[in-house]
Amino acid sequence: MSEAVSILPLVLVLLPTLGTGAVVLAARYGQHLRSQVTNFVMFATFVAACWQFYIVQQGTELVYALEGFMEFGLRWRVDFVGATFSVVVTLVWFLATVFARDYMAHEHHQTRFFAFWTFTLGGTVGVFVAGDLFSLFLFFEAMTFAAYVLVIHEQDRESMRAGNVYLYLSIAGGLALLGVIFLLQFVVGATGFEPALHLIVAKGISPWLILVMLIGGFGVKAGMLPLHIWLPKAHPVAPAPASAVLSAIMIKTGAYGFLRLLYVVLSVPDGSALFVYQQNFGYLFIWIGAVTMFIGAIMGILNDSMKRVLAYSSISQMGYILFAVGSGVLLGSRGAFGFAGAWMHMINHAFFKSFLFLLAGAVYLHTGELDLNKLGGLRRQMPIALGFFLVAAASITGIPGFNGYVSKIVIHEAILEAYHLLHWPSLLWLERIFVITGGLTAAYISKIWLKTFFGKPKKDWSEVRDLNLSHRLVFGIYVAISLIIGLSAQGAVDRLVLPAANLLPFDQGDIAHLGHVPFWGRAELLSPVTSYAIAVAVLFLLWKFGDRIKVPRWLSVEYLVYRQVYNGFRAGILGLIYLAETWLPSRISSLTRAWRRVDQVTQETKAQIKRWKPPKVELISATDLMKKLEEARAQEREQVKVWRVGDGELKRRIQKVRQEWQEREERLEERIYDVVEGVPRGEAKEEGKKSLDERVRELADWAATRKFNPYWNTKNLGFDAWIVAIVIALILFVFLVLR
């Protein structure tokens, strides 16, 4: 591999980034010009990626560096992996753009959508051509934040909620990734993609810490369990082209990150003492992948909205990729098959998942429905869509001749090879999980096209038209890609995978083996039969007993883990705040209350003295005098006893109660709105039966009889509290300093 300095990677990133400005400018002159400009930018980026691929494929790695930029400079480095996937990214994005023109034609905020659409491409393609982890991080964050606008495009309640989960989880993931960058920078002095595990251990930092941060960073993006909770929320609420691109490409950045970090940075030669770490990492990833793929598939079967099923399908397919990554890492230098399977599936999934999402978008565009329970019998009105759908389904379920078959076989070979080499019984179980999940995949995909195109029509579909010409062209290209890769199975592997595998120090025998994968062997050809057999069984069960399966809402990672952690934290912190703001000052105030009382009485007495006028002298008997004195004393006692709350205080409290009630009403509304699968949630607890007026009246009565109660909040924090705080701080410092 020779290196060449070329500005092409920079151009590849700059084209879409600056193209955003062109899109916004063009939008001033009309929608038509804007869509032309967008298409042109996308196409130009695609051409640039193809040109780059052409150069890299001949054996040159392209590098470029911008020094002085942010202190370390940005680096670009395009090897075969990066170049290939750049082509995939730009192609998928281009096809989705062509599709999006009709899809978005009736949406609001189109310019904003297309502007951020283009910018996201800039960030995404930057991830794949980045030369070190720092540059990758920069583009990664740009991509994440830009895609947020795509996710919340509809701006309704559900979208904003989904956007929130996506954003906060992505920020957390980004920070975990930043932690990895910090550690690498500290250990190595640079964040390039070079083997670094020995250096990390030498500095005394635990590799598991880096792995955990890595999983947090890229795992959120890759939809790995248990960090996947944003995916089923975010991908369905985005418009279909955005979902396509999110599912197909953006989650691949997570997988790409894992590929680079696990195969290069955290890898060691087989014989090294640190190989144990690599094996453990790999094994962990296989399990994570297996759990992800299995649970994703099951959730896919149980859901009823087309896009949500496809979102869970993405999670499941990412599980496949992680599964393959793990098996490759586990075997070290013998892990060529795992790497090849992961890489191939990344490419294939990009194509067929965007294909599926765009098809779902087409169905939505023509029928206005995404709920599988409301769709049905569309085969008469949209036969061409059905045809395309069957091709996509064939891809994802791994029918020979289509692209999904190729990667599935390779992954299957990978896990079998792992078992043959290591003879761990768990690996066999993992292989079985793999096969079963294949069946589940077939189940949920078949469920989609069965429920959409077959069965009794639930609505009147007579007005529904089939796909228009531009959409047919787009889907035709997808079919062509699928068939080309699928039919020339070994050829695709030779051209797309072998050069990538040669970049890494894999065993030559394995690489040769990769050149002769038994794609057309009998056992392999029969594997889809197994899948579909399982699928038929599952669908049958679903048809018979489907109505009785109700997944309780609390049985999800979100509720079991995230909500509990969040509630725990919130309770703890609110408790602490209550302690500091209410309990502590009230204890202090009860100490100082006596002093204040004395103060107040002194003030009142002084005021009385001031107002005292010399009494008119009148003769009065002793008994009368005594009576008068008694009355006076009694009056004074009365005056002192009843402490009223001032008007202002009362008004404030009434205001506060009103506010509270308003908030409660809003919250109540929200809770009722929270519907799960059409079933309204049961117990919206009665927040109190009293009406607002009653409550206010109660409050007034209370106020009239109330004794003086110091009302503490941070605003009225008395002097005493700070003095105590300062004294304590002084004592602490002096004590600590003087020991």
Partner 1 sequence: MITAHIMPLTILLPLVGAYLILLVGSKHRSFARNFGLLTTGITFAMVCYITYLVSNQGKMAYYLGGWAPPLGIELRADPITAFLLLTFAGVSFFVLLFAYDILPGEINGKVITRYYALYLVLLGSLLGIVLSNDFFNIYVFLEISSIAAAALVAVNGDKLAMEASIKYLVMSTLGSGTVLMGIAGLYMVTGYLSLDFLAGALPQAYASHPLTVLMTLGMLTVGIAVKAALFPLHVWLPDAHGSAPTSSSAILSGLVVKVYIAVLLKLLYRVFPLDFLAALPLQGSLLVMATLGIFIGSIMAIRQRDIKKMLAYSTVAQIGYVFLGIGLFSEKAMLGAVYHVFSHAVMKSMLFLSAGLLIKYSGKRTIADLSGLGRVYPIPMIAFSVGALSMVGVPPLAGFMSKWYLGLGALEANQLLFLLVLLLSSLLNGFYYMPIVIGGFFKKETVEIRQEKIPLGAQISLLVLIAATFFFGLFSNIPISFLTPTVQGIFSAFGGGI
Catalog residues that contact partner 1 under the rule CB under 8 A. Answer: 68-71, 137-138, 141, 145, 152, 155, 160, 163-164, 167-168, 171-172, 174-176, 178-179, 182-183, 185-186, 205, 209, 573, 577, 714-715, 717, 719, 721-722, 725-726, 729-730, 732-734, 736-739
CB 9 within 8 A of CB 118: no
Minimum CB separation of residue 716 from partner 1 in Å reads: 8
Enumerate the β-bridge partners of residue 675.
Answer: 680
Q: At closest approach, how far in Å is the CB of 86 from partner 1?
A: 22
Nearest approach in angstroms of CB 141 to partner 1 is: 6
313 to 6, 238, 256, 372: CA distances (angstroms): 39, 16, 19, 15
Strand, helix or coil for residue 107: coil
- Nearer residue to partner 1 within complex by CB, 577 or 629: 577
Return the beta strands (E) in 452-516 as ranges: none
Asked whether 120 and 146 are in contact (CB, 8 A), the reply is yes
Least distance (Å) from partner 1 to the CB of residue 140? 10
Closer CB to partner 1, 565 or 573, in the complex: 573
Shortest Å distance, C-beta 722 to partner 1? 6
CB of 247 to partner 1, least distance (A): 22
The C-alpha angle 160, 162, 165, rounded to 5 degrees, equals 110
> Is residue 40 a contact partner of residue 62, using CB atoms and an 8 Å limit?
no
- The residue (of 81 and 129) whose beta carbon lies closer to partner 1 is 129
In terms of CB distance, is 54 or 182 closer to partner 1? 182
Give the dihedral of Cα atoms 687, 688, 691, 692; nearest 10 deg: -60
User: Where are the extended beta strands (E) located within 416-542?
Assistant: none
Nearer to partner 1, 25 or 209 (CB): 209
Distance CA 244, CA 357 (A): 5
Cα 450 from chain centroid (whole Å): 30
Residue 237 or 492: the one with the smaller Cβ distance to partner 1 is 237
We find the least distance from the C-beta atom of residue 660 to partner 1, in angstroms, to be 13
Between strands 675-676 and 679-680, the pairing is antiparallel
Helix axes 469-487, 80-103, angle to 10 degrees: 150
Residue 638 corresponds to which tokens in the numbers above? 């009365």
The whole-angstrom separation of Cα 670 and Cα 665 is: 9
Alpha-carbon distance of 347 to 404, in angstroms, equals 10
Specify the residue, 594 or 736, whose C-beta has the smaller distance to partner 1: 736
Nearer to partner 1, 416 or 584 (CB): 584
Give the span between the Cα atoms of 78 and 62, in whole angstroms. Answer: 5
Smallest distance from partner 1 to CB 729, Å:
6
* Nearer to partner 1 (CB atom), residue 175 or residue 202: 175
CB 309 within 8 A of CB 447: yes
Tokens of 561: 């883990």
From the CB of 565, what's the least distance to partner 1, in Å? Answer: 13
Q: CA 602, CA 286: separation in Å to the nearest integer?
A: 78
Question: How many angstroms separate the CA atoms of 92 and 246, rounded?
Answer: 11
Helix (H, G, I), strand (E, B) or coil at 117: helix
To partner 1, the closest distance from the beta carbon of 734 in angstroms equals 5
C-beta closer to partner 1: residue 71 or 638:
71
Q: Give the integer Cα–Cα distance in Å for 539 and 122.
A: 42
Nearer to partner 1, 116 or 357 (CB): 116
Sign of CA dihedral 116, 117, 119, 124: positive
- As measured in angstroms, the least distance from the Cβ of 48 to partner 1 is 23
The CB-of-126 to partner 1 minimum distance in angstroms stands at 12
CA distance 343 to 497: 7
List the structure tokens of 307: 């896009």
Q: Which of 437, 340, 428, 372 is nearest to 398 (CA)?
A: 437
Q: How many CB atoms lie within 10 A of CB 274?
A: 16
Query: Closer to partner 1 at the Cβ: 545 or 719?
Result: 719
Q: Which is nearer to partner 1, 11 or 724 (CB)?
A: 724
Q: How far is the CB of 110 from partner 1 (least distance, A)?
A: 15
* C-beta closer to partner 1: residue 43 or 145: 145
Dihedrals phi, psi of 111, to nearest 5 degrees:
-60, -40
CB 193, min distance to partner 1, A: 19
Other C-beta atoms closer than 10 Å to the C-beta of 50 total: 15
Compute CA distances 411 → 182, 408, 429, 715, whole Å: 34, 5, 15, 64
